[in-house]
Amino acid sequence: SRLEPEQSNVSKSPLSPEKSSQNPLDDSEEKLSAEENKDRNLPDAQSNLGLWGDGKGEDELSPEEIQMFEQENQRLVGEMNNLFDEVRQIEGKVVEISRLQEIFTEKVLQQETDIDNIHQLVVGATENIKEGNEDIREAIKNNAGFRVWILFFLVMCSFSLLFLDWYDN
C-alpha cells in the first residue's frame, strides 16, 4: 500500500511529460494525496513494529521468551531423540528380519533338495512295489502249477499202487 502512490506518480509522469508541465495543480494534488496515504500507512507500520517489540531487534528477547524458546528447544530435542531411538529400533528389527529371511531362504533351499531326494525315493519305492507285486503274482502262478503237479503225482502213485495190488492178486 505504501508503493501505490509512488506507482501512480511514476505511471502518470512517463506517459505525458507535457501534461505534467501544463497542469501544476494536478501534480500538487497528487503529492498531497501521496502524503496522506503515507500518513495513513504509518500507524499500520507502527502496529506491525509493535508485534516485534516496538522496534527491538531479534537479539533482544525478554527472559520469558528466552525461557519459552529453551523449553520448546528441549521438547523438540527430546522428540528428535525419541524419533532417533525409534528409528534405531526399527533399523534393528529390519536387520533381524533380513537375517531371518536369509535363514528362511536357506532352509527352503535345503527343503527343496530334501523334497527332491524324497521324491526320488518314493518313485523308486513305487517301482519296487510294482516289481514285487508282479513277482508275487508269478510266484502264485508257479505255486499253483507246482500244486497241480504234486496232486497229479500223488494221484498217479495211488493209481499205480492200486494197479499193482490188483495185478498181484
Give the pLDDT confidence of 49-63 residue by residue, as tens digits.
Answer: 444 445 455 568 788
- Quick one: 8 exposed, middle or buried, by C-beta within 10 A (0-12, 13-18, 19+)? middle
pLDDT at residue 14 is higher than 60 = no
Whose CA is closest to 30, among 10, 15, 45, 44?
10
Give the pLDDT confidence of 93-135 residue by residue, as tens digits.
Answer: 999 999 999 999 999 999 999 999 999 999 999 999 999 999 9
Phi/psi region, residue 55 (left: phi>0; alpha: psi -120 to 50; beta: rest), is: left
**Residue 80's pLDDT is what?**
95
**Residue 77's pLDDT is what?**
94
Percent above pLDDT 90 for the chain: 49
Give the pLDDT confidence of 144-167 residue by residue, as tens digits.
Answer: 888 888 999 999 999 999 999 999
**Residue 16's pLDDT is what?**
45
Q: Confidence band (pLDDT; 50, 70, 90) for 83?
A: very high
Q: Confidence band (pLDDT; 50, 70, 90) for 168?
A: confident
Mark out the alpha helices in the chain (DSSP H runs).
3-15, 17-22, 24-51, 63-168
Over range 27-45, report the average pLDDT.
51
